[in-house]
Amino acid sequence: VKGFRAFLAHKFGGSIRGWRRAVAPDEVGVAPVLFSDFCFAMRELGWSGNAMSLWKALSNGKDSVGIQDLEPNVALGLDRLSVAIFKRYKGGVQDAWKDMDHEHGLRLTFCEFDEFLDNKDFIPAVAGGWVVPMRRLFEAIDMSGRGSLTLEDLRFIDRWAHLRVHVPLPPDLRLDSRDVADPEPWAPPPVKPPPDPSIADFRAFLEKRFGSASRAWRIALDLKGTGSVSISDLGKGCRSVGWKHDHSQMFRLLKEAGQGLARLRSLDPETAKAIDRFKEEAVSRYDGLQDLWAELLDPGSTGTVSRTEFVRDVAVELEMREADAMRVFNALDTAGTGWVANSELGFLETFESGMEAKYAAAAAYERQKTLQLSQAFPQWGPQGASSEPASSSGAKTTFNPGSGSGEDAMDLTIGSLGRFRPPWQDVQLAATGISSGIKSAASPLGRELYAPHKSSRSFQYRALANANQLKHRWLALAAEDRCIYSNHETVVADRKVMSQALKKGSSGDIFRTSSEFYRLGVDRLLQKDASRSLLGSHQETEEFCESFHET
Per DSSP, the three-state class of 484 is: helix
DSSP tally for the chain: helices H, then strands E: 25, 8
Distance of alpha carbon 201 from alpha carbon 214, whole angstroms: 15
Burial 336-347 (b: 16+ CB within 10 A, else e): ebebbbbbbbbb
Element (H, E) at 33: strand 33-34
CA 360 to chain centre: 37
Pick the closest to residue 55 from 76, 41, 72, 74 (CA basis).
41
pLDDT, tens only, 119-141: 776 665 444 566 678 888 888 88
Alpha helix segments (H runs only) across 46-90: 51-59, 67-70, 72-88
Predicted TM-score of the model (pTM): 0.47
Judge whether 10 and 4 are in contact, CB under 8 Å.
no
In single-letter form, the type of residue at position 216 comes to: A
Work out the pLDDT band at 360, boundaries 50, 70, 90.
low
* 227/417: higher pLDDT: 227
DSSP-derived secondary structure for 443-483: -TTSPBTT-TT---HHHHHHHHHHHHHHHHHHHHHHHHHHH
Judge whether 243 and 218 are in contact, CB under 8 Å.
no
Ranking 47-61, 246-260, 444-458 by mean pLDDT, the lowest is 444-458
* Ramachandran bin of 75, using left for φ above 0, alpha for ψ from -120 to 50, beta for the remaining angles: alpha
Q: What is the pLDDT of residue 436?
A: 39
Judge whether 313 and 297 are in contact, CB under 8 Å.
yes
Distance of alpha carbon 81 from alpha carbon 131, whole angstroms: 10
Q: Report CA-CA distances (Å) from 196 to 31, 191, 239, 247.
A: 54, 15, 17, 11
SS3 of 257-305 = HCCCCEEHHHHCHHHHHHHHHHHHHHHHHHCCHHHHHHHHHCCCCCCEE
* 395/233: higher pLDDT: 233
Long-range contacts of 101-105 (CB under 8 A, 24+ apart): 104/148
Is the confidence at residue 507, as pLDDT, over 60? no
Count other C-beta atoms under 10 Å from residue 246's C-beta. 13
* Ramachandran bin of 352, using left for φ above 0, alpha for ψ from -120 to 50, beta for the remaining angles: left
Judge whether 478 and 302 are in contact, CB under 8 Å.
yes
Q: What is the pLDDT of residue 501?
A: 62
Per DSSP, the three-state class of 551 is: coil
Is the confidence at residue 409, as pLDDT, over 70? no
Rg for the chain, CA atoms, rounded: 52
Work out the pLDDT band at 446, boundaries 50, 70, 90.
very low
Is the confidence at residue 448, as pLDDT, over 80? no
Distance of alpha carbon 529 from alpha carbon 524, whole angstroms: 9
* Percent helix / strand / coil, the chain, rounded to 5: 60, 5, 35
Instruction: Output phi, psi for 340, to 5 deg.
Output: -130, 135
Polymer length in residues for the chain: 551
Per DSSP, the three-state class of 505 is: strand
Distance of alpha carbon 424 from alpha carbon 3, whole angstroms: 101
Is the confidence at residue 343, as pLDDT, over 90? no
Question: Which stretch, 87-91, 183-187, 490-494, has highest mean pLDDT?
Answer: 87-91
Ranking 137-146, 305-314, 374-383 by mean pLDDT, the lowest is 374-383
SS3 of 179-242 = HCCCCCCCCCCCCCCCCCCCHHHHHHHHHHHHCCHHHHHHHHHCCCCCCEECHHHHHHHHHHHC
Q: What is the pLDDT of residue 405?
A: 38
Count other C-beta atoms under 10 Å from residue 276's C-beta. 14
Work out the pLDDT band at 273, boundaries 50, 70, 90.
very high
By CB atoms closer than 10 A (0-12, 13-18, 19+), residue 38 is buried
pLDDT, tens only, 468-498: 777 777 777 777 777 777 776 677 777 777 6
Is the confidence at residue 538, as pLDDT, over 80? no
Distance of alpha carbon 73 from alpha carbon 132, whole angstroms: 7
CB contact set of 270 (below 8 Å; sequence gap of 6+): 324, 327
Q: Report CA-CA distances (Å) from 532 to 90, 244, 405, 521, 539.
A: 141, 89, 99, 17, 11
Interval 202-213 mean pLDDT:
92
Strands 262-263 and 304-306: unpaired
